[in-house]
Amino acid sequence: MTAFLHRLAVIGLVLTGLLGPAGCSSLPVLTPEMALNKHAPVRLEGARGPLSPQQSKAILTRLENGGKPTGIFEQHLALEQSIMGSGLVVGNKATLLMDGPSTYDAMFAAIAQAKDNIDMDTYIIEDDDMGRRFSDALIAKQKAGVQVNFMYDSVGSIGTPREFFQRLKDAGINVLEYNPVNPLALRKGWDINQRNHRKLLVVDGRVAFVGGINISSVYSSGSSFSRKTKKPPTPGKSEEPWRDTHIRIEGPVAADFQTLFLNDWKQQKGDPLAARNYYPAIAPAGDDIVRAIGSAPDQPYSLIYVTLLSAINSAQSQVYLTNAYFVPDPQMLTALKDAVARGVDVRLLLPGKSDSALVYYTSRSFYEELLEAGVKIYERQQALLHAKTAVIDGVWSTIGSTNLDWRSFTLNQEIDAVVLGSAFGTQMQNMFNQDLKVSDEMTLEKWHKRPIGSRLKEFGARLWARLL
């Protein structure tokens, strides 16, 4: 089932008046009070707790962009620290994963090496070849004595038969359906409009995977530049190759991702989990500074929204955003336009094709305003773009499940990783540039020549913006 049908299912519930409390119904207005401590010295956390000011300063000096005292890197660090939430954790190794094949290979390798526990959370898992591969791998580990805890979203996986999940349960795996559509299966209040859009895998509390990739065979081919061969998809197939991004993180920050999973399990009133070593002692695995961000509708405001908006407002040279579903609110639009006005190179990489025509035309309804302000817009060709990433000033990067739309920021459970440092930022910029090579730039001249049919679709789709 496509993402469009998932969204349509939720919209249908809205229109029929079946929704319970919608949770946070508006986006926060970013104010200085949200960052009262932004001028305080940056303090980092290691595997054994907070680092001293001297240790923190030494790490900042080493990771400063190119060793030059620009202040950009430290400014972004101070920004991260000032926003409430989990801490900035040092000693991690972040590995960029492009598309389904490389991501699935890395996930299967981690699962195969699990010795104590596996926690997995996904929006969509389908009863197809890839879904069955994952279920077989998880069942094998459960039978080998590893405790597997699995959570999936009721709407996201609405097309997956009950028998698929029953097989997992019969093997001893703890399975939890997030906010069941069926009111008879409720464990808490019926918040049907609040969905768990997170994609998370934590193995032994040491390795975490986060990003935009669901469990589905649509990701099996990969996009044009991630395939081992340059051959096009098999003729006659209607499926577009999918372009998506994930991240593997090894190190102390895995504990923060573990906490997000376990807190979700408790919040959903899942059965008590067997006692396991969910929080092992973890030695440093690399030099990356990572922050785990879990956004939820019951928070005062979306943490990833405020974090991203603040980073854009602090940008001094570049803002490169890649997103599958771009339906910005007025504050985000203003931040992007203001960044251009102060000389920042702002580029948006958006889908040239989408699995949701409604979202596609809603996104395009914002193009003229952004193009007139000097924002550069590129549409990804040769694949269906599903990634949700950003790289700012070459030192601030994020990969996760959050789309740039109202639903992600106000109604969904989302999960993202922020990675700080120029080495990983360079990888992100290289990936962005690779995508640009197979993208078409949209200019004002092109935009003004679009057909009348497209203009009408954009106008009609814009009316649905707050529900997407």
Active site residues: 197, 199, 204, 386, 388, 393
Q: What is the DSSP string of 329-388?
A: -HHHHHHHHHHHHTT-EEEEEEESS-S-HHHHHHHHTTHHHHHHHT-EEEEE-SSEE--E
Q: Give dist(CA 158, CA 151) in Å, integer.
A: 13
Q: How far apart are the first and last CA of the chain?
A: 17
Residue type, 355: D
The answer to whether 302 and 415 are in contact (CB under 8 A) is no
Beta strands in 158-199 (DSSP E): 174-178, 195-196
- Between the alpha carbon of residue 394 and those of residues 339, 417, 427, the distances in Å are 15, 16, 9
Handedness of CA 327, 333, 336, 337 (dihedral sign): positive
The answer to whether 243 and 383 are in contact (CB under 8 A) is yes
Q: Could you tell me how many residues make up the chain? A: 468
The answer to whether 312 and 341 are in contact (CB under 8 A) is no
Beta strands in 16-173 (DSSP E): 45-46, 49-50, 89-98, 117-122, 147-153
Q: Give dist(CA 134, CA 104) in Å, integer.
A: 9
Could you tell me which of 445, 441, 454 has the C-alpha nearest to residue 364?
454
Could you tell me which of 393, 329, 325 has the C-alpha nearest to residue 359?
325
* C-alpha of 123 from chain center: 11
The answer to whether 214 and 160 are in contact (CB under 8 A) is no
Handedness of CA 175, 181, 182, 188 (dihedral sign): positive
Handedness of CA 227, 232, 238, 243 (dihedral sign): positive
- Between the alpha carbon of residue 75 and those of residues 12, 309, 343, 390, the distances in Å are 44, 14, 18, 17
Q: Give dist(CA 347, CA 321) in Å, integer.
A: 6
